[in-house]
Structure 1
Amino acid sequence: MAIRLGVDIGGTFTDVVLEGVGDLVSTKVLTTYAAPEAAIIDGMHKVCAIAGIAPAEISQIIHGTTLATNALIERRGAKTALITTEGFRDVIEMRTESRFEQYDLNLTLPEPLLPRQMRFTLSERVNAKGDIMLPLDRTEVERLAERIAITGAESVAVGLIHAYLNPDHERLVRDVLAEKLPDISVSISSEVSPQMREYERFNTVVANAYIKPLMASYLGRLESKLRAEGITCRIFLMHSGGGIISVADAANFPVRLVESGPAGGAVFAAHIAARYGLDKVLSFDMGGTTAKICLIKNQTPKTSRVFEVARTYRFKKGSGMPISIPVIDMVEIGAGGGSLAHVDAMRQIRVGPESAGSEPGPACYGRGGTRPAVTDADLILGKLDPDNFAGGSIPLKATAAQSALTDQVGAALNMEAAEAAFGVAEMVDENMANAARVHAVENGEDLSEYTMIAFGGAAPLHAGRLCEKLGVHRLLVPPGAGVGSAIGFLRAPFSFEANRSVYMKLSDFDAGLIRNLLSELKSEATGFVRGCDAEAPIMAEFKVYMRYTGQGWEIPISLTEDQAMTPDAATFQARFEEDYTKLFGRPVAGMDIEITVWSVNATTAAERPDRITLSEGGHTVPDTGTRAIFDPATGAFADAKIIPREAMNTGDDALGPAAIVEDETTIIVPTSRRVIRQPDGCIDMIAKDAP
C-alpha cells in the first residue's frame, strides 16, 4: 500500500495523518503563523518517527489549508489592481445594493478588497449575447499597463463585462500585461469564474489575484522544504469542492483553496456515512477557530457555486465577500476551542468570532493569553484532563482559565468561575444549534431524521449536548475524529468542476448548442484531472442551474450523462419540477423556465468502504475512575466515568455521564445518552429514549 500523508493547517492546530503503515498514525502540532510550512515539517517528522519510516518513503502528500481564507479575512494579500470595463469601476463597492440587516441604521458594509485608486477601466464592451459592441484597442491596454506599473501592483485582476461569454478581450489584456509587466501575476475572470453576475465574478477574480502571490510563495517554500527533507513525491491540494488538484493548478486558482480544510471534513463524514449506509447525515466539525455544519444526503455533501467569506455580521447572508466557485455548502460559525468570550453592553455572554488561535491561545495554554476561550470553559467544566490534553504535549493551567473567566465574565455578571464557564459553553452550543436549525430549514430538512457525525478536536466535547438541543437521536464519533479533515483528504478523489454561464429558456431549447457546451466543459474538467492522474478512469457529473423566469436565483439540477449528451427539453423540465417541488412544496404552473449556468465535474472514483455489521452492545466496559464533569441538563457537576478509547472493544457499551478519552480529543457522553463501540472503531452515541 502506498504511504500517503494528509496535512490540514487550521487556525490553531496543524493536523498530520500518515496512512499505509498499518494503522493510521496522526499528530496535532500548533500552527506556526509566520511560516506555516514549519508546522507541516514538524508534524511529518513526528508521525514518521511513530511509524518507523523515513520521510523519503512517503509516496503522496495531500494538503488543505485555511491560509487563503485567513488572507482574505485579515486583508494580508498582495497589492492588487483591477481592470474592468468603463463604467463598472465601482461594482465591487456598490455590491448588490441590498441591506442584509434591514433595520440597522448604523449598518456597516464590508470594504472592498481594493481601494478605488487601484481600479482601472478600459473602453470596450461585449453584450449579453457575447457579441463585441466596442472593440478593445491594444494601444489603450499598453498605456494602462504603464499606469499600473507606477502603482507598484504585484497582481492584476481582469474582469470585463460579459467576458464569461466571450473572453477575447480579457485574453488580450492578459497577453499585453505578460509582455509589458512580466513580473506581475494576472488573473482573468473568464478562467477563474466564467459565470454571470458581475459583482460575484469581479469579487472572485479580485480575491484570486489578491492571494495568488501569497499562495504561490507559500507553495514554493513548502515544496522546497519537503525536497530538502528528501521527499520527491508529488504534492496535491484539497479544493473547496471536495476534490484534489495539482500544486500548479492550485497556484493558478488559489481562490479554489478557500474552505479546503472544511471540505476535507465533509468528505470524511460522507465516507463514514457510506460505511454505515446512512442517507441523512449532519456533519459537525469543530476545531480551534471555527465550527462547520454540513448536510450530507445520499452519502454526498451538498454543494453550491457561491459562498461568502469574511462576514462582518454573524449568520447574515450578504454581509461577506461572495466567492463564485464550486464549494461544499456548509455553515461556518465563529465557535471553536479558541473562540474568545466576553460580556456585551446588554450584560449578555458573547462568544467569538474572534479567536485566540495558537498564538497566544486560550488562557489555560499558559502562552500569554488572558482572555477566556471555549477551551478554558471546557477545562473548568471538567471536560478536559489538564495533564493529558493533546496527548500530554500541552499541559493546561486551570488557575489561568479560572482567572480569565472570573475577570472577563464572572466579575461583570456576579458569577463564580464554574457558572461563567457554563454560560460560555451553553452560549457556544446554542449558537451552533441555531445555525444548524436555520441551515436545515433553508434546505427543507428535519434534523430529527438525521444522524450527526462529529470530528475535529473540539467537536466530540460538544456534540452530545448539541444533539440534545437539536433533537438528534444518534451521533457517530469515528476513530481519528480529532484529525478528521486530514483523513478526509486521503479519501477524496481527484476532481475539478468546470462551469460556464450561457443563458437559455426552455422555450428556446437548443439541443445542439447544449451538447457542444457540455462536451467542452467535460473536456476542460477532464484535462485538469488528467494533470493529477494520467491513468485512472474519470467519470463526469453534469449539473445545470435552473429557475422560473423572473426569479432571482437558481437551484442545481443533476443530470445523467445520457440526459446531458442527448438533451431534451421535456426531460430538463421534469427534472427541474421534481427538485423544485422537493424544495418548495409545489411547482409553478404556466411559467417558462430558464437555465443560467452549466457545470461538469470530472472526478476519479471515490473510495467506497465496505458496509459494517452493527453491534448492539451488551458488554459493559470497565472505567478507570471518575471525575466531576458539569452536566448542563441538571445544572450541576456529576461523577462521570473515565474510559480510555483504546480500552473499548467491539460491542462494549457505557451509559452517560462519561468521558471517553484519547490523545486528540475527548468524547463527552451526557446523562441522556449511551455509547457502543462499533466494529470499525466508531463510538456510536444513542439517546437512551430513542425509538
Structure 2
Amino acid sequence: MAAARLRVASDVGGTFTDSIAYDEASRRISVSKVPTTPGNRALGTVAGLKRAVAAQGLSGAEIAYVGHGMTTATNAVIQRKGGRTAFVTNRGFRDLLLIGRQDRPSLFDVDDVRPPPLVPQELCYTAAGRIDAAGREIEPLSLADLEAAAADMRARGVEAVAVTFLHSYANPAHERAAKALLERLLPGVPVCASTEIVAEFREFERASTAVLNAYLRPIMETYLGSLAGLLGDREDGLGLPETSPVMVIEASGGLMTLDSAREKPVHTVLSGPAGGVVGSAHVAGLAGIRDIVTMDIGGTSTDISLIREGKPILTRQARLETVPIRLPVIDINAIGAGGGSIAWIDDGGALRVGPMSAEAVPGPAAYGRGGTRPTVTDANLVLGRFGADTRLGGDLTLDLAAARAAVATIAAPLGLDVVAAAAGILRVAHATIVRGIRVVSVERGLDPRDFALVPFGGAGPMHGTPVARDLAIPRLLVPPTPGILCALGQLVSDLRHDLVETHVGAHADFAAGRAAGIVAALTARGDALLAADTVPPDRRTVSAFVDMRYVGQSYELPIALPARLDEVDWAGVPARFHDAHRARFGHADASAPVECVSFGVTAVGRIDTPVLPVLEEGGAAPPPEARTGSRPVYFEALSRTDIPGFHDAPVFARAALRAGNVVEGPAVIEEVSATTILYPGDRAVADASGSLIVEMPA
C-alpha cells in the first residue's frame, strides 16, 4: 500500500461543496468545487474529495487525514428538519422552553411572532425530584414519573430525548439516573443530559442547548454515518484507510472526532463558517497581517467576523434562528446576502436583495437549471464581472441571456435598463454587507480603518473593494484559493476541548487555594481528553480563565488565568477585570465589588500544520502568460469623481502570477475557486505567501 501523504478537507455549503487536497511531500494544493447534493450531502462531499485527490494524481489510499465542515446542522434547525424530540425537566417547569427569556429582538414590532420551540408542548415531560443550588438533594428523583413519560414517548414516536434538571450543574446525579433509565426503556433512542453538553447555570440556555443537541442527533447520525461509509468504500467511495482520522470542525474553530460529532452535533452548528475564520487568520498571519475583518460570501449568505492579534473572537452566547446556544463559538455575524440571494421589489417599490436564496437547486438563472428570479450572480454576469466563457468551479458554464432575462424582471418595474438594475442589485447587497461589518466593529467600539478586509468564499473577492471603500478600510487581503478557504481552515485547525464549571461567589470570598484547586482539576480533565485523542504531551496546551462580573450584572467577561495560580495572581484578577470591562464597554468601576461566575479551561492539541506553497519570485510586471485576455466590466461610482460605466479590463490568470507582480485596476483576476475584481485605482501585489494585497485609493 502507498504511504499516506495527502491531507484533505471538504466544506459543505448551501450551494457548493468545496474540497482541498494537500500533498505533504510536494506541498502542492489542488481544489475542487461541485454542486451540493441536498438529497444526501455525503455524495457531494465524496465526489468533491475524489476530484481534488485525482487532480494530485493520487488515490484515496494515500490520504492521511480528512477534515470536514458543514451546514447540515444549521440547515436542519433553519428548516425545522431535526428529529422528533422530547424534553424532560423538573415538575412545575414544563413550559421552560416556551417561556424562555423576556428579551425580544424586535421590541416594538407588534406583528412579531416568536417561532415555536423545537419541542412541542405535548412532548415536554416532568418528573418529581429536586437538587438545590449547593448540589444537595432536597427531593428524590421519581423513577415512576420517568417510566410513565417513556411509555408516552414510545407511543408518540419520539426519536431523541433531552434531559435538563435545575441545578444539575452543581450535582448531575439526577440527570445521570434519568438518562440511564430512559436509555433502557427507549432502546435505540439517543438521550442527552444537559450537563454532558454544558455544565453551567442558567437553566433555559442549558436546556435549549441540550434540546438542540438531541434534535440534531438523528439527522447527524444518518448523515455522518453515510459519510463514514462512503469515505471508506473502496469501490464507490473514497477508499480511505481505516487508520486515517476524520475530524469535524467545531463552531469554536477547533476540531472534534467524527464519533464526538455524532454524539454532540450541537458543536457542529456554524462549523463551516468557523473554518473560514480560522483559515483567514492563518493566511493573513503568513502575510504579516494580524488584525482583519473576514467577509465570507457564499451562495446563500455572508459570514462576517473579526480577528484581533491573529486570534478569532469567541463568545459563549449565540443564537441560531432564535434558539439560544450556550457553547464556545466564533463570533460570526451571518447575513442573508450571497451570490444566490434573490433580488425583489418590496411593497413600497424599493429594491431588496435576500435573504431568500436560489440555493443549489435551481440556482441563479445564469446556471441554466431552471432558475428565473434575478440573483447577485446574475447581476455580476450582466455587468461583465463573470465572462461569457467563465466556468464556475472549473465546470459550470454560465448563461448570459438567462441572467439578463432574470434581471429584466425587476428592471422594468423600477424604470431602469438591465445594466442599471444589475448595478442596483450589487449596491443593495453591498449596503447590507457593510451594515453587517458595522455590527462587529463600529457597534463594539472598534474602528474598521484599523483592520484589513479579507474577502473570500466563491463571491467574496468580487465585492471586496466597494465594501472596503464604504468603510474606509485601506486594504484587502485576498487569500490563496479564496473559494476554498473554509476547507483550508480545517487543515490548519487544532483539536480543542472546552470545559466550564459554574462556581458563583464574590472574588473576596474565594481563597487563592480554592480557585487554584478548581483550575487544576479542570486542567487535568482537559489534558486527559487530549491524551484520549492520542495527542502527544509536547503538543498539548491547556489555558484557564474565570468568568467575572460586577455584583448585580446579568452577564460576565472571561479573564485569563495562569495554569498555576498563586496568591499574587489571584489578587490581581479584579484589576484585570476592570480593564477588560473598560475595553469592552467603555467604562469601569474599580470600587465596585466583583464576583466569579464560572471557571473554565481550553485544551488544545496542536496538529501538523501544512506548509503552504511559496510563490516563485518575479518582477513587478506579471509574466506575459498571466494575461489571458480582456473584457468590458461595469464599475459603479465609489466616489464623487468616479464615472460609472464599462471599462475594458484585462483578465489575468492568478495561477500564473509570481511574488512581487503588480496588477493595476481595472482588472479581473481569475482562478478556479473565485474571481477577484480590481476597481479603477486599485493596486494588487502578489505576496510570497500566495495572497493578493490590494491597496485602494483613499
Letter in 2 for 1:2: R
The residue matched to 1:412 in structure 2 has which SS?
helix
Corresponding residue of 2:69: 64
**Residues 365-397 of structure 1 deviation map (CA, whole Å, 9 limit, x = unaligned):** 111111111111111111112322324411111
CA distance in 1, matches of 2:422, 2:516: 60
Corresponding residue of 2:123: 118
Contact 1:11 1:66 in 2 (8 A): yes
The residue matched to 1:479 in structure 2 has which SS?
coil
Task: State whether structure 2 residue 593 is matched by structure 1 residue 587.
Answer: no
Corresponding residue of 1:450: 451
Query: Structure 1: where are the runs of 5+ without partners?
Result: 311-319
Give the drift of 1:560. Answer: 2.7
Contact 1:617 1:677 in 2 (8 A): no
The residue matched to 2:445 in structure 1 has which SS?
coil
Corresponding residue of 2:499: 498
- Map 1:341-360 to 2 at 5 A: 341-360=343-362
Give the drift of 1:526. Answer: 3.0
Q: 2:257 aligns with which of 246, 270, 287?
A: 246
Task: State whether structure 2 residue 686 is matched by structure 1 residue 673.
Answer: no
- Map 1:425-464 to 2 at 5 A: 425-464=426-465
The residue matched to 1:191 in structure 2 has which SS?
helix
CA distance in 2, matches of 1:221, 1:566: 53
Q: 1:73 aligns with which of 73, 78, 86?
A: 78
Contact 2:633 2:648 in 1 (8 A): yes
Q: 1:281 aligns with which of 279, 292, 298?
A: 292
**Residues 451-486 of structure 1 deviation map (CA, whole Å, 9 limit, x = unaligned):** 112221110011121111111111111111110010
Give the drift of 1:661. Answer: 0.8
Corresponding residue of 1:7: 10
CA distance in 2, matches of 1:387, 1:611: 29
Contact 1:614 1:678 in 2 (8 A): no
Task: State whether structure 2 residue 632 is matched by structure 1 residue 653.
Answer: no
**Residues 57-97 of structure 1 deviation map (CA, whole Å, 9 limit, x = unaligned):** 11111111110000011000111000011222212212212
Corresponding residue of 1:317: none
Contact 1:515 1:567 in 2 (8 A): no
Mean CA deviation greater in 521-530 or 349-358: 521-530
Contact 1:617 1:676 in 2 (8 A): no
Task: State whether structure 2 residue 257 is matched by structure 1 residue 255.
Answer: no
Corresponding residue of 1:176: 181
Letter in 2 for 1:684: I
Corresponding residue of 2:558: 556
CA distance in 1, matches of 2:103, 2:587: 28
Q: 2:630 aligns with which of 602, 626, 631?
A: 626
- Map 1:37-116 to 2 at 5 A: 37-116=42-121
Task: State whether structure 2 residue 247 is matched by structure 1 residue 236.
Answer: yes
Mean CA deviation greater in 127-136 or 466-475: 127-136
CA distance in 2, matches of 1:360, 1:222: 24
Give the drift of 1:617. Answer: 7.2
Corresponding residue of 1:316: none
CA distance in 1, matches of 2:246, 2:615: 36
The residue matched to 1:59 in structure 2 has which SS?
strand
**Residues 225-267 of structure 1 deviation map (CA, whole Å, 9 limit, x = unaligned):** 1221231222111111111111111111100001111111111
Give the drift of 1:217. Answer: 1.5
Letter in 2 for 1:284: M
CA distance in 2, matches of 1:374, 1:567: 57
Contact 1:29 1:43 in 2 (8 A): yes
Mean CA deviation greater in 84-93 or 385-394: 385-394
CA distance in 2, matches of 1:160, 1:526: 28
The residue matched to 2:402 in structure 1 has which SS?
helix
CA distance in 1, matches of 2:294, 2:364: 26
> Relative to structure 1, is the Cα distance of residues 309 and 617 closer, same or farther in structure 2, using a 3 angstrom cutoff?
farther
Contact 1:674 1:685 in 2 (8 A): yes
> Relative to structure 1, is the Cα distance of residues 195 and 679 closer, same or farther in structure 2, using a 3 angstrom cutoff?
same
> Relative to structure 1, is the Cα distance of residues 32 and 528 closer, same or farther in structure 2, using a 3 angstrom cutoff?
farther
- Map 1:18-37 to 2 at 5 A: 18-20=21-23, 22=26, 23-37=28-42
> Relative to structure 1, is the Cα distance of residues 616 and 684 closer, same or farther in structure 2, using a 3 angstrom cutoff?
farther
The residue matched to 2:386 in structure 1 has which SS?
coil
CA distance in 2, matches of 1:609, 1:444: 36
Give the drift of 1:584. Answer: 2.5
Letter in 2 for 1:371: R
The residue matched to 2:633 in structure 1 has which SS?
strand
**Residues 553-583 of structure 1 deviation map (CA, whole Å, 9 limit, x = unaligned):** 11222223234x7685422112211211222
> Relative to structure 1, is the Cα distance of residues 621 and 451 closer, same or farther in structure 2, using a 3 angstrom cutoff?
farther
CA distance in 1, matches of 2:291, 2:63: 36
Give the drift of 1:519. Answer: 2.6
Contact 2:629 2:651 in 1 (8 A): yes
CA distance in 1, matches of 2:528, 2:413: 60
CA distance in 1, matches of 2:15, 2:601: 35
Task: State whether structure 2 residue 170 is matched by structure 1 residue 161.
Answer: no
> Relative to structure 1, is the Cα distance of residues 531 and 569 closer, same or farther in structure 2, using a 3 angstrom cutoff?
closer
Letter in 1 for 2:528: G
Corresponding residue of 2:640: none
Mean CA deviation greater in 566-575 or 459-468: 566-575
The residue matched to 1:452 in structure 2 has which SS?
strand
TM-score normalized by the length of structure 2: 0.93
Give the drift of 1:532. Answer: 2.9
Corresponding residue of 1:313: none
Give the drift of 1:292. Answer: 1.0
Contact 2:208 2:325 in 1 (8 A): yes
Mean CA deviation greater in 582-591 or 105-114: 582-591
Letter in 1 for 2:407: L
**Residues 410-437 of structure 1 deviation map (CA, whole Å, 9 limit, x = unaligned):** 1321222211111111111111111111
> Relative to structure 1, is the Cα distance of residues 327 and 617 closer, same or farther in structure 2, using a 3 angstrom cutoff?
farther
Letter in 2 for 1:150: A
> Relative to structure 1, is the Cα distance of residues 613 and 652 closer, same or farther in structure 2, using a 3 angstrom cutoff?
closer
> Relative to structure 1, is the Cα distance of residues 569 and 47 closer, same or farther in structure 2, using a 3 angstrom cutoff?
closer
The residue matched to 2:595 in structure 1 has which SS?
strand
Q: 1:375 aligns with which of 364, 374, 377?
A: 377
Percent of aligned positions that are identical: 34
Contact 1:546 1:557 in 2 (8 A): yes
> Relative to structure 1, is the Cα distance of residues 567 and 322 closer, same or farther in structure 2, using a 3 angstrom cutoff?
farther
CA distance in 2, matches of 1:330, 1:32: 25
> Relative to structure 1, is the Cα distance of residues 198 and 358 closer, same or farther in structure 2, using a 3 angstrom cutoff?
same
Give the drift of 1:128. Answer: 2.3
Contact 1:360 1:368 in 2 (8 A): yes
Contact 1:474 1:686 in 2 (8 A): yes
Contact 1:455 1:484 in 2 (8 A): yes
Give the drift of 1:621. Answer: 6.0
Contact 2:34 2:393 in 1 (8 A): no
The residue matched to 1:487 in structure 2 has which SS?
helix
The residue matched to 1:108 in structure 2 has which SS?
coil
Give the drift of 1:110. Answer: 2.0
CA distance in 2, matches of 1:252, 1:610: 33
Corresponding residue of 1:685: 694
How many residue pairs get aligned? The number is 678
CA distance in 2, matches of 1:252, 1:504: 33
Give the drift of 1:609. Answer: 7.0
**Residues 283-338 of structure 1 deviation map (CA, whole Å, 9 limit, x = unaligned):** 1111111111111111110001111112xxxxxxxxx2111111111111111111
CA distance in 2, matches of 1:128, 1:188: 18
CA distance in 2, matches of 1:531, 1:369: 49
Corresponding residue of 1:396: 398
Letter in 2 for 1:643: F
Q: 1:642 aligns with which of 645, 651, 669?
A: 651
CA distance in 1, matches of 2:184, 2:37: 38
- Map 1:451-530 to 2 at 5 A: 451-530=452-531
